[in-house]
Copies of this chain bind each other. A is one copy, B any other.
Amino acid sequence: MRSSDSTSMHVFDAAIALDAGGGDSFLGNTHSAYGNMVGPFGGAIAATLLNAIMRHPQRLGEPLSHTVHFAAPIADGGFSVQTRVLRTNRSTQHWSVELVQDGAVAAFATSVTAVRRASWSALDAVFPEVPPASSIAPAPPIPRAAWTARYEMRFIDGAPGAPGTQSDSSQSRMWIRDTPQRSLDYLSLAALCDAFYPRIFVRRPQWVPIGTVSLTTYFHADATQLAAQGSAPLLGVARALRFGNGFFDQAAEMWSERGELLATSQQVVYFKE
């Protein structure tokens, strides 16, 4: 029996759970609660790869950056995760993590963990003026994408459009948190950064196959800010800058209700014309 099968565990923790696989290896499984239309929700995979680093006994500090490549479709089922410390400095550490399924690399990550220390600080990004989460009804999940039922999403604007509508902007703003509620940590924040509907469905509401190719998240929040967040909703803002030649980008900001920028994230996404 896997140690991660405890029934008292939050379903997100069950979905990203890893068993020791010997040395720098871990063993994981996709989880049906975080399934996507095909295979698992990428945010859950991003968090699983980060979890391998979080569990590693040699880890220095907390996550600072996390780049995930979705190299091939991940099948529902088991996989192994292989971690490697590429370099350890005084206050930063560089990691490589590979997810192997059926003998081939299906996803991989490169990450930085860092020891944060107090410093001069400044915020250049502007916290959007938006109505409070409590004033907006949660959007219904999408039945074909199980993972959408695992997040409470309250759209301020840029909800995925009805077929036939066309928007001049790919921007979405929403209040979002885990369902059921769960205290924020780096793992859930890594997944939340990928919990935006693909921008092409906002800009041009017409279903086409899409897939994230590469995703990079920078964690701005320190442990104190994360602890203060608890299970309160985060304000997520996502937009694309350019669509073309079968790919588009997506940039996201994750804010606390108090106007702290907790994380920023970018991804490049394939789409089939």
Q: Taking beta carbons and an 8 Å cutoff, which residues of A are in contact with B?
A: 64-65, 67, 69, 71-72, 86-87, 89, 91-92, 94, 96, 98, 104-106, 108, 110, 112, 114, 116-125, 169-171, 199, 203-204, 213-214, 216, 218, 220, 222, 239-247, 249, 251, 253, 261, 264, 266, 268, 270-271, 273
Nearest CB of chain B from residue A143's CB, rounded to whole Å: 27
B247 touching A125 by the CB < 8 A rule? no
Nearest CB of chain B from residue A188's CB, rounded to whole Å: 20
Residue of B nearest to A86 (CB): B105
Q: Complex: how many Å from CA A23 to CA B125?
A: 46
Residue of B nearest to A67 (CB): B67
A124 touching B218 by the CB < 8 A rule? no
Nearest CB of chain B from residue A180's CB, rounded to whole Å: 30
CB within 8 Å for A65 and B213 given contacts A204-B122, A242-B220, A245-B222 = yes
Q: Complex: how many Å from CA A249 to CA B123?
A: 11
Residue of B nearest to A171 (CB): B124
Selected A-B contacts with CB under 8 Å, 5 pairs: A64-B213, A96-B96, A108-B110, A122-B242, A251-B264
Q: Complex: how many Å from CA A94 to CA B245?
A: 18
Question: What B residues does A271 contact at CB under 8 A?
Answer: 119
Q: Complex: how many Å from CA A48 to CA B241?
A: 27
A108 touching B86 by the CB < 8 A rule? yes
Q: Complex: how many Å from CA A114 to CA B106?
A: 17
Question: What B residues does A112 contact at CB under 8 A?
Answer: 69, 213-214, 268
Question: What B residues does A104 contact at CB under 8 A?
Answer: 87
Task: Identify which of A86, A98, A204, A270 gathers the most chain B CB atoms within 10 Å of its CB.
Answer: A86
Pick the residue among B67, B125, B203, B244 that contacts A220 (CB under 8 A).
B244
Nearest CB of chain B from residue A244's CB, rounded to whole Å: 3
CB within 8 Å for A244 and B105 given contacts A67-B214, A87-B71, A216-B216 = no
Nearest CB of chain B from residue A42's CB, rounded to whole Å: 15
Nearest CB of chain B from residue A213's CB, rounded to whole Å: 6
Q: Complex: how many Å from CA A96 to CA B89?
A: 21
Residue of B nearest to A125 (CB): B241
Question: What B residues does A108 contact at CB under 8 A?
Answer: 86, 94, 96, 110
Pick the residue among B120, B171, B245, B247 that contacts A204 (CB under 8 A).
B120
CB within 8 Å for A245 and B124 given contacts A108-B110, A266-B218, A266-B266 = no
Nearest CB of chain B from residue A106's CB, rounded to whole Å: 8
Q: Complex: how many Å from CA A122 to CA B245?
A: 10
